[in-house]
Amino acid sequence: MDAIRRITDEDAILSIDFLAGFTIFILALIMVISLVPGFLAGIQSDNIDYDAVAYRTSVILVEDPGAPHNPSWNQMGPYDMGHKAEIQRLGLSVSKETPNILSREKVDKFFNRIPDFTFSAEDYRNKVIFGDFTYLYNISLATGGDVYYADGGDPVPTFQYGYMRRLVKVKEPSAAAVNFSEYVTVYTADLPKTETDVTADFSVWIPYETLSNRSVNPAYRIEPQSERLTINLTGMYFPLNRSDLVSLDFVGLGLYRDQIPSNVISLVPNDDYSLKVNGITYPATGGVPVPVTNSSTIEMVLYPPLLLSNSLTTTLNVNFTFSYQFLNSNVFHQYLSGIHVYDYNPDNVTQPELADGVMEVAIW
């Protein structure tokens, strides 16, 4: 007698060994099929990645104003490296609405042209190029005859690099060039015959409300918050009667707000402004009076963000103080006087100019 009972009818029976074999086979098949997507691994190519990263970097630099934008990243503590960590993205555009128009202030900051404020290779990788991989880069901008290179870049290899070339316009800041020979009768005042000396001001008036005109496209707008204002005085002698004048000295510079002379604003040299007389740096107050000649030039630059420019209704007066000595010749003596308005009139101010430029980004 068999120990195992013989089964006579074998229909509808799955034997254990069949199940065991079948299970192992199916498991192995599933494992193999799940490895099929690995076929496509061979298509991944670093070269496509480089071009994509170069394109993305060029878009960030050329079309993006950067982050933070308001206040702009280049305004964060103008010469304060401590604020660098708050910058998330280095974009050079003037605003979101004006792609391909770059701000001169941002360009100068980005390419380390401002002393005491520099970006390192690590900053560029974290704030412009992004990505997990440590890419080598070469970022350059050519404009107005100059070529700027981003620090920490390497020479571009002969092949196998990602590349993008973008055309841009760099918005150069405005400047008020007051050549007194063009304003002979306009910017003078008369001194009574009996007086022989006077210390008087010539003023440049900066009305923030007029300048922050939102109907002006950001590409052409004068922005005291983010651009420098320059005032150039030349030809100081022209409107004056030279035979009558013993001496003319430039004494200094003062700022006051809202056209009230007592609202004096204190100036910090190099942070707020820079003043050069005949090309030599001169302090706003406390300097030795400088004689003014026919060819003298006074150049004053106010750095952004201009003092009190965040208050739209404020106006600023920049006073250039001159001291005059006249001959006692019993005639009316002329001295420089008047207010020059810094506004959108091209006769008063050289408007912001858009200069052609080209930017090349290479990544490998």
Partner 1 sequence: MVMNDEGQLYTIEGITAGVIMLVTAFTIFNSGLVYTPGDAHISDMQIQQLGYDALQMMDTPEDMSPMSASPLALMIQNNDGSGFKTKFNEYLTLHTGTTELVNSLEFNATVYNRVTSGGGDTVNSYVFSHSTDSAVSQLTREPAISITRYVWLSDANDLKSHFGAAKYDNDEQLVLLEVLIWRR
Binding site for partner 1 (CB under 8 A): 4, 15-17, 20-21, 24-25, 28-29, 32, 35-36, 38-40, 42-43, 45, 47-48, 51, 55, 99-101, 138, 140-142, 147, 149, 156, 163-169, 216-217, 219-221, 344, 346, 351, 354, 356, 358-360, 362
Q: What is the C-alpha to C-alpha distance for residues 362 and 163, in angstroms, rounded to an integer?
A: 5
Q: How far is the CB of 243 from partner 1 (least distance, A)?
A: 42
CA angle 188, 194, 197 (to 5 degrees): 60
User: Within 13 A of 104's CA, how many CA atoms are on the CB side?
Assistant: 22
Of the two residues 130 and 220, which places its CB atom closer to partner 1 in the complex?
220
Q: What tokens appear for 256 in the block?
A: 């006051």
Strands (E), the chain: 101-103, 137-143, 146-149, 162-172, 175-179, 188-191, 197-207, 229-234, 245-257, 264-265, 273-277, 280-281, 290-291, 297-302, 315-326, 333-336, 339-341, 353-363
Length of the chain: 364
Q: What is the C-alpha to C-alpha distance for residues 33 and 68, in angstroms, rounded to an integer?
A: 49
Q: How far is the CB of 217 from partner 1 (least distance, A)?
A: 6
- By DSSP bridging, strand 229-234 and strand 175-179 are parallel
Of the two residues 100 and 196, which places its CB atom closer to partner 1 in the complex?
100
Of the two residues 151 and 360, which places its CB atom closer to partner 1 in the complex?
360
Determine whether 157 is exposed, middle or buried from the number of CB atoms within 10 Å of its CB (0-12, 13-18, 19+). exposed
Q: How far is the CB of 51 from partner 1 (least distance, A)?
A: 5
Of the two residues 13 and 288, which places its CB atom closer to partner 1 in the complex?
13
Of the two residues 174 and 203, which places its CB atom closer to partner 1 in the complex?
174
Of the two residues 67 and 156, which places its CB atom closer to partner 1 in the complex?
156
Q: How far is the CB of 91 from partner 1 (least distance, A)?
A: 16
Q: How far is the CB of 63 from partner 1 (least distance, A)?
A: 10
Q: How far is the CB of 299 from partner 1 (least distance, A)?
A: 24
